């Protein structure tokens, strides 16, 4: 399967499932997908992001070689919202290797506190931080304060996720 050609045609659940199944047992295929994700153009990057988030759920070991890249992309300005959304969606399901946890925490807090990030990015950031707070309980007060700051003017999605996390950390 030529991922670039397929992604140029469009985006669908069927295509995403087919890509995930092709990548499942092949680090070579994972590299091909990541090349599409990195090289773009923007529409291809956006479409490649969705299968990557599912790969993180089903085959998280395939991401191990790409954490630096994914974290760098989270910090890169001017990209499509789907990039941050799907990287963070992936990170909420993954066991993030210890050497990347500090960077992931920093960027997740930054995105959570940003006034310009979309709802899904903030929600996934909350979950990533919450998951890491189990290893680093010292961050719980900052997580709690960040969520409480968001709640008064938050969307229903942020309120729901935020209240669940606040309940879990009490």
Question: What is the residue extent of each domain of the chain?
Answer: 1-95, 97-170
Segments in the chain below pLDDT 70:
none
By CB atoms closer than 10 A (0-12, 13-18, 19+), residue 81 is middle
Predicted model pTM: 0.88
Beta strands of the chain (E only): which ranges?
A: none
Encode pLDDT of 41-91 as tens digits.
Answer: 888 988 998 899 889 888 888 999 999 999 998 988 877 788 898 899 989
Integer Cα distance of 135 and 110 in angstroms = 19
Instruction: Please say whether the beta carbons of 135 and 101 come within 8 A.
Output: yes
Residue 61: predicted pLDDT: 87
């Amino acid at each position: 399967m030529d991922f670039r050609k397929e992604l140029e045609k469009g985006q669908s659940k069927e295509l995403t499932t087919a890509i995930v199944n092709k990548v499942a047992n092949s680090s070579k295929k994972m590299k091909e997908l990541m090349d599409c994700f990195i090289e773009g153009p923007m529409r291809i990057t956006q479409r490649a992001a969705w299968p990557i988030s599912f790969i993180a759920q089903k085959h998280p070991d395939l991401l191990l070689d790409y954490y630096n890249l994914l974290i760098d992309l989270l910090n890169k300005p001017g990209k499509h919202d789907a990039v941050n959304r799907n990287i963070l969606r992936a990170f909420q399901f993954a066991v993030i290797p210890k050497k990347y946890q500090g960077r992931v925490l920093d960027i997740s807090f930054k995105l959570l506190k940003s006034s310009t990030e979309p709802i899904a990015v903030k929600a996934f950031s909350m979950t990533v931080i919450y998951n890491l707070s189990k290893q680093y309980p010292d961050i719980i007060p900052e997580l709690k304060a960040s969520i409480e700051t968001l709640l008064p003017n938050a969307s229903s999605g942020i309120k729901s996720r935020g209240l669940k996390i606040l309940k879990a950390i009490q």
